[in-house]
Amino acid sequence: MDYYGSSIGKLIESLQSLPGIGQKSAQRLAFHLIGMPKEQVRGIAESMVDARENVHFCSQCQTLTDGDICPICSSKKRDHTMIMVVENSRDLAAYERTGRYDGVYHVLQGVISPLLGVGPNDIRLKELMQRLQNADGSAAVQEVIIATSPTVEGESTAMYIVKLIRMLDLPVRITRIASGVPVGGDIENIDEVTLERALSGRTELK
């Protein structure tokens, strides 16, 4: 039954399509938006459209950015000889919040998951291998830190990355974040202290 009319019902339905937003949360957000000043609501809507139209993948690390190269990759203050491999941009943000990592990243935009039909070619592995092969001089990569989540898919992806790097026969140290990260957990939901301990206690993969 339509309690509020088509406009409110459509707004609630649209908000409910977002991940983690149920019917009650969608209703609460809808009524909050309706109660806000029109200009503020218009600003939110415009920022959403602007982000959708202008945000794309960084040409180097594959994270989301609105420039050709993201601020981390373009920073001269970062250690470009060290690459941390993460599953998505949310994981990158989680490690940045620790304030203890000064290297750069490579964002896979997923993990290998045969059950979901996601293979090696469906994530950004080719781009990672190209970065390692094309590195030269002082910018040559010395360490790859694999920071995928400790799930079955994350571990399988980590082992596949090790295999690919070894096939290239590059003098690169490969490490894995320590077990401070709980098995089955998602990186983005883990607190900064645990992430910092996992990073500092990383182990080398042979």
CATH architecture assignment, domain 6-54:
Orthogonal Bundle (1.10)
Number of H-type helices and E-type strands within the chain: 8, 7
Cα separation, 101 vs 111, whole angstroms = 22
Report pLDDT for 1.
Answer: 47
Domain spans, the chain: 6-54, 58-204
Give the single-character DSSP code of 88.
S
pLDDT higher at 173 or 184: 173
Residue range 39-59, pLDDT digits in tens: 999 999 999 999 999 999 999
Determine phi and psi for 80, rounding to 5 degrees. Answer: -80, 0
What pLDDT does 197 receive? 62
What's the average model confidence in pLDDT over 189-203?
69
Say how far apart CA 84 and CA 61 lie, in whole Å: 10
Nearest-5° Cα angle at 34, 28 to 39: 130
DSSP 4: S
Using one digit for the tens of pLDDT, what is the confidence trace for 114-169? 999 999 999 999 999 999 987 554 458 999 999 998 888 998 999 999 999 999 88
pTM: 0.77
Domain 58-204 top-level CATH class? alpha beta
Share of the chain above pLDDT 90, in %: 67
How do strand 103-107 and strand 79-86 relate by DSSP bridges? Answer: parallel
